[in-house]
Structure 1
Amino acid sequence: MTVLTKSVVTGMTREQYEKTAAALIDQLRATPGFIAHYAWEHEGGMTVVEVWESAEQHDDWFDNNVKPHLPVEVNPEKHELANKVTA
């Protein structure tokens, strides 16, 4: 089931995010199940939303590649999508 994940990373600056993203983006694009990634800065941190083919694929990627780079513990929200339309 396709899932949308949302991670709020309190205390992460835009510069920290950009450094981490630059190191991981090519690998992320090549990871099975990855569909989309969006990020924005908010007061006090960064928010990252991703779309994956399954929660398991997201969790494997997140636990092994993203978590080690985060300044705080993050537990992404997961939402099963009822529909997905792309260009």
Structure 2
Amino acid sequence: MTVLAKTFVPGLTREQYEELGARLTDQVKSTPGFIAHYAWEGDGGMNVVEIWESAEQHDAWFNDTIRPNLPAEATQEKHELINTVTP
């Protein structure tokens, strides 16, 4: 089932996020199950939302590639989506 994963990384600056993005954007775009990525600055850190075809695909990417680059204080929540509408 399609999943939305929201991660908040306290203390991560826009510049640090952009540096990570420059290294990882092409890789995530070619990762099986990836649908979309959105990010915005929040109070004291960065918020990232990704949409994946399954939680398993997201977790494999996140745990192997992203988690090692984040502080322990980063938090994540996941939600199964009951509907997705795309053009």
TM-score relative to the length of structure 1: 0.95
* Partner residue in 2 for 1:36: 36
2: CA distance, partners of 1:56 / 1:49? 16
* Partner residue in 1 for 2:85: 85
2:52 is the alignment partner of 1:52: yes
> What stretches of structure 2 of length at least 5 have no aligned partner?
none
1:68 is displaced (CA, Å) by 1.5
2: CA distance, partners of 1:71 / 1:12? 9
RMSD, matched Cα: 1.0
1:56 is displaced (CA, Å) by 0.6
* Number of residue pairs the alignment of both structures matches: 87
1:73 is displaced (CA, Å) by 3.8
1: CA distance, partners of 2:73 / 2:67? 8
2: CA distance, partners of 1:54 / 1:82? 12
1: CA distance, partners of 2:75 / 2:45? 15
2:5 is the alignment partner of 1:2: no
2:8 is the alignment partner of 1:18: no
1:43 is displaced (CA, Å) by 1.9
> What stretches of structure 1 of length at least 5 have no aligned partner?
none
Question: Identity of aligned pairs, percent?
Answer: 64
Structure 1 stretches of 4+ with a deviation exceeding 3 A read none
SS at match of 1:59: helix
1:23 is displaced (CA, Å) by 0.3
